[in-house]
């Protein structure tokens, strides 16, 4: 496994400044967002020369871009918004080879028209599911053409809000180019913490072999929905790493939802927890 971090953890005016911070913390991997290069996260136009420049910056800092964000609201109630997101994300997928990555991360979306990370009761309606499939279909076609993997993440406020729904989505799409970004902290609705170990075991059982990236953050003991830096909450990381080992996972573990001042402590915590289960797990961390 390799330990990485969200690029947007570090707020610097230049891409070189952001990547230097990552390297200064001894991290080899980055989940990237184009905003760190002064662009929109999903720009209307993404020039090949710009992509080559970003890749050159990564190469100069000896960093790997393990994924790039293609986030937009995949079930936005306005069809025009969805269409624009599909077009822009499709362009990003086609630029992955130039950027030097093969994974694009997606948000499965919400019916909330303003905030893609806010729950809406209509997320559970059959039409929301159908529109998610309709959004993914053209993107998966492009991903197949380009040899790119699309990563979706179960998240309690989105239409895919559980491991079981994520499994159903993988099965409905039937594409080897759709995989899972597994963030254990995002699996727990209010009142679920008492079933933490069982829910983690279910998630890894259903999704472990289709997981391409693991996210590392934590959850608040008060079950208030707050997500925070890994090592500062009550997420059962011992179980997480036991299940990672059991599934033979050797991909990236990516830190996020933390302040720059918390990075060093979270790195130490993740490396310690990984080593507790198997010294080999932390070999790339």
Band of pLDDT at residue 224, cut at 50, 70 and 90: low
For the cut 80, the answer to whether the pLDDT of residue 241 exceeds it is yes
State pLDDT tens for residues 46-91. 999 999 999 999 999 999 999 999 999 999 999 999 999 999 999 9
Please check whether residue 151 is in contact with residue 180, taking contact to mean a CB–CB distance below 8 angstroms. yes
Tell me what pLDDT residue 94 has: 98
Number of domains present in the structure of the chain: 1
Tell me what pLDDT residue 63 has: 98
Query: Rounded to two decimals, what is the model's pTM?
Result: 0.95
| CATH code for the domain of 150 | 3.20.20.150
Tell me what pLDDT residue 27 has: 96
251-214-119 Cα angle (round to 5): 155
For the cut 80, the answer to whether the pLDDT of residue 225 exceeds it is no
Q: What is the largest CA-CA distance in the chain?
A: 51
Please check whether residue 69 is in contact with residue 32, taking contact to mean a CB–CB distance below 8 angstroms. yes
Please check whether residue 121 is in contact with residue 133, taking contact to mean a CB–CB distance below 8 angstroms. no
Tell me what pLDDT residue 284 has: 63
Tell me what pLDDT residue 89 has: 98
Tell me what pLDDT residue 221 has: 83
Helices (H), 192-232: 196-207
Mean pLDDT of the chain: 94
Tell me what pLDDT residue 282 has: 61
Tell me what pLDDT residue 275 has: 86
Tell me what pLDDT residue 84 has: 97
Tell me what pLDDT residue 277 has: 78
The predicted model gives 4-28 an average pLDDT of: 97
SS3 state at 2: strand
Band of pLDDT at residue 101, cut at 50, 70 and 90: very high
DSSP, residue by residue, 119-185: --GGGGSHHHHHHHHHHHHHHHHHHHHHT-EEEE---TTSSS-SHHHHHHHHHHH--TTEEEEE-GG
- What is the percentage of the chain residues whose pLDDT exceeds 90? 88
Residue 232 DSSP one-character state: S
Query: How many residues can be counted in the chain?
Result: 285
State pLDDT tens for residues 175-223. 999 999 999 999 998 788 889 999 999 999 999 999 999 999 999 887 6
Give the burial class of 128: count Cβ atoms within 10 A of its Cβ; 0-12 exposed, 13-18 middle, 19 or more buried: buried
What is the span of the domain harbouring residue 278? 2-282
Tell me what pLDDT residue 249 has: 92
Tokens linked to 218: 């934590």
């Amino acid at each position: 496994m390799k330990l990485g971090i969200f690029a947007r953890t570090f707020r610097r005016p230049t891409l070189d400044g952001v990547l230097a911070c990552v390297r200064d913390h001894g991290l080899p991997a980055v989940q990237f967002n184009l905003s760190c290069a002064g662009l929109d996260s999903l720009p209307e136009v993404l020039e090949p020369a710009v992509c080559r420049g970003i890749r050159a910056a990564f190469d100069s800092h000896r960093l790997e871009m393990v994924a790039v964000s293609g986030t937009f609201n995949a079930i936005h109630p306005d069809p025009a918004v969805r269409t624009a997101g599909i077009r822009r994300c499709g362009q990003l997928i086609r630029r992955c080879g130039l950027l030097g990555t093969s994974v694009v991360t997606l948000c499965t979306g919400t019916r909330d028209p303003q905030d893609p990370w806010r729950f809406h009761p209509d997320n559970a309606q059959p039409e929301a599911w159908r529109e998610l499939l309709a959004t993914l279909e053209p993107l998966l076609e492009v991903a197949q053409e380009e040899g790119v993997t699309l990563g979706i993440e179960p998240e309690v406020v989105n239409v895919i809000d559980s491991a079981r729904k994520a499994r159903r989505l993988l099965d409905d799409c039937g594409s080897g180019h759709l995989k899972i970004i597994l963030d254990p902290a995002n699996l727990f609705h209010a009142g679920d913490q008492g079933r933490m170990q069982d829910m983690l075991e279910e998630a890894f059982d259903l999704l472990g072999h289709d997981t391409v990236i693991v996210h590392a953050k934590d959850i608040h003991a008060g079950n208030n929905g707050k997500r925070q830096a890994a090592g500062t909450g009550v997420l059962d990381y011992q179980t997480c790493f036991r299940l990672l080992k059991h599934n033979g996972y050797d991909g990236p573990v990516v830190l996020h939802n933390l302040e720059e001042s918390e990075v060093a402590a979270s790195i130490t915590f993740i490396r310690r927890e990984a080593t507790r289960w198997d010294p080999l797990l932390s070999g790339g961390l």
